[in-house]
Amino acid sequence: MGSTEHRFTVNLSILFTELPLLERPAAAAAAGFSAVELWWPWVDAPVPEQSELDALRAALNDAGTRLTGLNFYAGQLPGPDRGALSVPGEESARFRRNIDVAADFAGSMGCKALNALYGNRVEGVSEAEQDELALENLVRAAHAADRIGAVVLVEALNAPESPAYPLVSAPKAVEVVDRVNEATGLGNAKFLMDLYHLSMNGENLHQVIDSYTDKTAHVQIADNPGRGAPGTGELDFTDLLGRLAKAGYDGWIGLEYKPGDRPSAGSFDWLPAPLRSA
């Protein structure tokens, strides 16, 4: 499985988590990967100590790994929080404090993609109010991303696992992408196409690929059911990755799956070693 037309990047927030954060880049490099991505690593600290940022930067550089994607602060992931930017009060304030910190770190690593997760719907606040707050914060994020020559990504999650999350279909996420681009005029808001989440929602993946590849700047994969490596579930990744290539997608494919009951390094048998390093 795999294609020379695609470049693969390992998500170090779901793979290699049996190791401390600063050891994961080297472990990914030892498994043959030259590119990695991360959720925001400090779930309780939108603005961590500079020494922590410096240590992570050094670990990535020492391992020779390129950072291809980074989440803005999004609360506890994986977990029930599922994002922060549309949640009134302290969570959206944390997101705003994080925007420039995350953008500066990404810029220092040459990272060109920042993922901004919506927040869950909350009681006592109208959906319209939350959406207005989300747009305000996404506009801020898009300007910060533009400052470092990056895109800001908007992702659809899945309703079974995140029932309070409002963006649980490709069209809903793309609506937000279009709204942000209209508000900023920058054109740097893009769709993050996570094939696992979309399949969990029962969407027609062929139709999603055909309809939205032109608005997509990042793809993530995991098999379904189980969120394991390709080949552990029912999705045909040879077909799906081929269709993405045919649709013109030439960006990164993020491996955002659970390794199962084995060390993470043992979960890459499906991907030939020559295809792991971009």
**Cα–Cα nearest to 12, from 2, 118, 3, 30:** 30
Query: At the top level of CATH, which class does the domain 7-269 belong to?
Result: alpha beta
- How high is the pLDDT of residue 80? 61
pLDDT for 261 equals 94
- Computed over every residue of the chain, the mean pLDDT equals 95
Q: What pLDDT is stored for residue 76 in this prediction?
A: 76
Domain ranges of the chain: 7-269
Active site residue 90: no
Long-range contacts of 238-245 (CB under 8 A, 24+ apart): 238/1, 240/195, 240/205, 240/209, 241/2, 241/3, 241/5, 241/6, 242/3, 243/206, 243/209, 243/210, 244/6, 244/209, 244/213, 244/219, 245/3, 245/5, 245/6
pLDDT, tens only, 110-147: 999 999 999 999 999 999 999 999 999 999 999 999 99
Q: Which residues contact 42 (CB under 8 A, 6 or more apart)?
A: 48, 52
pLDDT number for residue 82: 74
Residue 241 neighbours by CB under 8 Å, 6+ apart = 2, 3, 5, 6, 253
Spans of the chain below 70 pLDDT: 1-4, 78-81
Of 37, 91, 155, 203, which residue is the catalytic one?
Answer: 155
| Catalytic position from the list 37, 91, 203, 256 | 256
- Tell me 87's DSSP state: S
Q: State the pLDDT at residue 75.
A: 86
Is-catalytic flag, 123? no
